Amino acid sequence: MSDTRRLESVSGPHRGQPMVTAGAPAMAADAALVLCHGRGATAQGVVNLFSPTHRHGVTVLAPNAERSRWYPRRATAARAENEPWLTSSVECVGAALEAARAVDVPPERTVIGGFSQGACVAAEFLRRNPRRYGGLCCLSGVLPGSSDDDWKIAGALEGTPVLLGYGEDDPHVSSKRVVRTARTFADAGANVDERAYPGVGHEVTDNEFDAVRAMLEALLADDT
């Protein structure tokens, strides 16, 4: 069962968009999963996509992008071409984390993730807000930007588990950018798990769902 609230604290193009909540009732949650949908999709759609990872005790928070797109250009475009949408997108992720914190689920017990353009937004949130999180699952996505400055992380990720999964036949995701994204997060102290899938295009595999599920189960097993 899911319900919806509005993201009134967000500035820019995504202000006032809905955020779908699903999974465990908020007051009974021991962990959280924040999900960002791909371009052309919806918050409810990404909640449904990740349903194989849902677990008892995990509340799911999925913001929705204005016109179902987080930013208008490709992830490889200059950052200025994707503003103010990109910054507004990052604020949506921040609002979802604040919603989790409001029910006593801190960032270190929250996994942030997404698919395709939503994965890029999730990755960018960590780049701009480095600290320890429950995890990042970046599926068929990379860090957006075009200059060396776009790849800098001013802080430490303190061992945050990071899953980077992609298909080797994906026409939308460059393996070189995935490798660079992995190196950027590793250099900032993340525990990176990069998984390339031969013969797979722009899609999510069962193996990736298993990895996300393992992230959440590790959080639920940790009583601290």
The token pair that represents 52 in the structure block: 């194989």
In a domain, residue 147? The reply is: yes
- Given a cut of 90, whether residue 150 has pLDDT beyond it is no
Give residue 184's domain range: 6-222
What residues contact 99, with CB distance under 8 A and at least 6 apart? 5, 19, 21, 26, 61
Cβ(52)–Cβ(206) below 8 Å: yes
**pLDDT score for 2:** 62
Please, are residues 33 and 60 in contact by the beta-carbon 8 Å criterion? Answer: yes
Does residue 1 fall inside a structural domain? no
pLDDT tens, position by position, 54-106: 889 999 999 999 999 999 999 999 989 999 999 999 999 999 999 999 999 99
What confidence tier does 4 reach under pLDDT thresholds 50, 70, 90? confident
Whole-number pLDDT of residue 45: 97
Q: Measure Cα distances from 88 to 17, 21, 143, 165 in Å.
A: 11, 20, 16, 25
Q: H or E segment at 139?
A: strand 135-139
> What is the reported pTM?
0.95
Is 191 inside a domain boundary? yes
Does residue 77 form part of some domain?
A: yes
pLDDT digits (tens, 9 = 90+) for 189-224: 999 999 999 999 999 999 999 999 999 999 999 866
Q: What is the C-alpha separation between 58 and 49, in angstroms, rounded?
A: 16
Could you tell me the CATH number of the domain that includes residue 161? 3.40.50.1820
More confident residue, 69 or 147: 69
Please state whether the peptide bond connecting residue 13 to the residue before it is cis, i.e. omega within 30 degrees of 0.
Answer: no
Strands 58-63 and 31-36: parallel
Any domain includes 175? yes
Average pLDDT, the chain: 94
Nearest to 73 by CA among 82, 64, 62, 84: 82
pLDDT at 1: 52
The verdict on residue 92 lying in a domain is yes
Decide if 109 is inside a domain: yes
- Is residue 21 a part of any domain in this protein? yes
Task: Label residue 29 exposed, middle or buried (CB < 10 Å: 0-12, 13-18, 19+).
Answer: buried
Hey, what are 108's tokens?
């270190």
Helix ranges, 39-174 (H): 43-49, 85-102, 117-128
Domain count, the chain: 1
Tokens at 60, concatenated: 């799911």
